[in-house]
Structure 1
């Protein structure tokens, strides 16, 4: 029995570390701001591909992966790869140019996209908490589009939509996490990196770096993969409700990074919109509990 509390504590620590590292990674990309965002994206893709390839080779999972691939696997992970590339590229650009509040807002918006897709594609039931959540998010986003308070709406819209779509596609996929990440990195390496090389001449940019920055650049594989590994570790040990609550940690970390390190101050209206979107997300996470309380209260009234 002692093993269960230990596993839960280890899972909770991993989930917190994963989201904090993702939020703090803006500072890593900012430290490499002398390179264009496209160059950094290309390095992130290639070094991540190299790391996950070595990992699969060490675990002897290449043959089962290649023998078991289907057309559906390739299409799903190919689509996920394009979405995560847009997400990574926007996140890196925002980190370099001081739009961290917007990226944090995007990660707050993203989970609600999954609710919308469920309603539209699968005709899921519209519960009261979900309906209220959607109304709060849609109203807040519309407000931010017209009353930005200095926020770049392109950043939070792209990050929110791409991360929400990526998460949805990953739920449809059947491959294990590392196998799926390898396939996505391979697709990006084949499709995206030649374009990046043609557009931003990264070899010359990288050659101009000093030794310290070159060493820092080599860490981008760990910066990309370590949070994913921790997230995967936590997902196997924690209930979905706790993993849902952990989704607050990433945007909250981004919020503090923006305030402390980037000196990016939101307007009062933007803060209010943040609060409403956070409330919407909390309603989604607590929906099972709210439904239970509602039905119990309804039963008491009917019995009376």
Structure 2
């Protein structure tokens, strides 16, 4: 099997796991989302430490915190991904998985907009139109539903910010994410201590049934959340070294598509006429974005081919 094929399969597998993860957190709806998030953080770190230990790469993690500036960027990334994880868990448990799927659909366009505004990247006409369609979709939902789709915006904004911040972190994706959850560990540990010994409640005001350690199913599921978080990232990292950026971008739509299907078909969440207008606008924007991405990848390939030909011709002339 070719390396590129292996990369595509790994990418699809990662996106399928991310898409189906809403089923997992739906089964944990009786546990407050902040408690689930704290366990996810704790057991993710355990997974990463075991994985990196097996691979002999534990020394890579301190590199992500090698300087004060790197430590700041890692902590900023940790804050962004914590918001993303919490909002996603909350949305699934509270019956707003449809909004979360919209957020992950919007994310690529938010990333493009952030690239233009923060990094001053030049956008093509198609990319500008794609971003404009996303803006129109959000405005229509705000008008139709009476409130902005905050969950969608928080999911897309936090994940977009996370990607932007990660550009400043020099360590690889697995090592840097391990460093991020390491930074979050004190807060997660403090919260779990408060829940299980002091009776703290989450942001929703729900008291915890203290199911961890007393209910076998809940205990196993909470511990497995570390694998559910870490394993797709490992597969994504593996795919990133073997699959083109354009292909990665297209395959990532598998995740929100599965979430969308689960929210509408299985969870029975309402799909209003405003959603029926907004989602096609987003899909249209993503189609334009995909076309622009593929064009850019094709043009870069042609430029590299011309450059290689020129170098070869130059070498032949010298000979």
- Which residue matches 2:9? 13
For residue 64 of structure 1, report the CA deviation from its aligned partner: 4.8
CA distance in 2, matches of 1:89, 1:67: 27
- Which residue matches 1:76? 73
Contact 1:73 1:175 in 2 (8 A): no
- Alignment deviations for residues 126-170 of structure 1 (CA, whole Å, 9 cap, x no partner): 321121111111111111112139x97121111010011112222
Contact 2:141 2:148 in 1 (8 A): no
Decide which moves more: 158-167 or 274-283.
274-283
For residue 175 of structure 1, report the CA deviation from its aligned partner: 0.4
- Which residue matches 1:278? 283
For residue 204 of structure 1, report the CA deviation from its aligned partner: 5.9
- Which residue matches 2:105? 108
Contact 2:32 2:208 in 1 (8 A): no
- Which residue matches 1:86? 83
Contact 1:113 1:165 in 2 (8 A): no
- Which residue matches 2:266? 261
- Which residue matches 1:247? 252
Ranges in structure 1 where 5+ consecutive residues have no aligned partner: 295-304
For residue 266 of structure 1, report the CA deviation from its aligned partner: 1.0
- Which residue matches 1:99? 96
SS class of match (2:243): coil
For residue 241 of structure 1, report the CA deviation from its aligned partner: 1.0
CA distance in 2, matches of 1:161, 1:292: 25
Is 1:200 the counterpart of 2:201? The answer is: yes
Would the alpha carbon gap of residues 200 and 243 (structure 1) be closer, same or farther in structure 2, given more than 3 Å must change? same
**How many residues are paired up?**
289
Give structure 1 regions of 4+ aligned residues with deviation exceeding 4 angstroms: 201-204, 288-294
Query: Aligned runs of 1:46-195 on 2, under 5 Å?
Result: 46-66=42-62, 69-148=66-145, 153-195=149-191
Which protein has the bigger helix share?
1
Would the alpha carbon gap of residues 184 and 125 (structure 1) be closer, same or farther in structure 2, given more than 3 Å must change? same
Residue of 19, 25, 41 corresponding to 1:45: 41
- Which residue matches 2:21? 25
Cα RMSD for the two superposed structures: 2.5
Ranges in structure 2 where 5+ consecutive residues have no aligned partner: 195-199, 300-319
SS class of match (2:210): helix
CA distance in 2, matches of 1:286, 1:233: 25
CA distance in 1, matches of 2:148, 2:267: 15
For residue 124 of structure 1, report the CA deviation from its aligned partner: 2.3
Would the alpha carbon gap of residues 142 and 179 (structure 1) be closer, same or farther in structure 2, given more than 3 Å must change? same
For residue 192 of structure 1, report the CA deviation from its aligned partner: 4.5
- Alignment deviations for residues 81-134 of structure 1 (CA, whole Å, 9 cap, x no partner): 111111101111111112111000000111222222222223222321121111
Contact 2:91 2:100 in 1 (8 A): yes
Would the alpha carbon gap of residues 273 and 203 (structure 1) be closer, same or farther in structure 2, given more than 3 Å must change? closer
For residue 197 of structure 1, report the CA deviation from its aligned partner: 4.6
CA distance in 2, matches of 1:76, 1:206: 35
Is 1:220 the counterpart of 2:225? The answer is: yes
- Which residue matches 1:301? none
Would the alpha carbon gap of residues 211 and 292 (structure 1) be closer, same or farther in structure 2, given more than 3 Å must change? closer
Decide which moves more: 159-168 or 140-149.
140-149
For residue 289 of structure 1, report the CA deviation from its aligned partner: 4.7
For residue 196 of structure 1, report the CA deviation from its aligned partner: 5.8
Contact 1:41 1:88 in 2 (8 A): yes
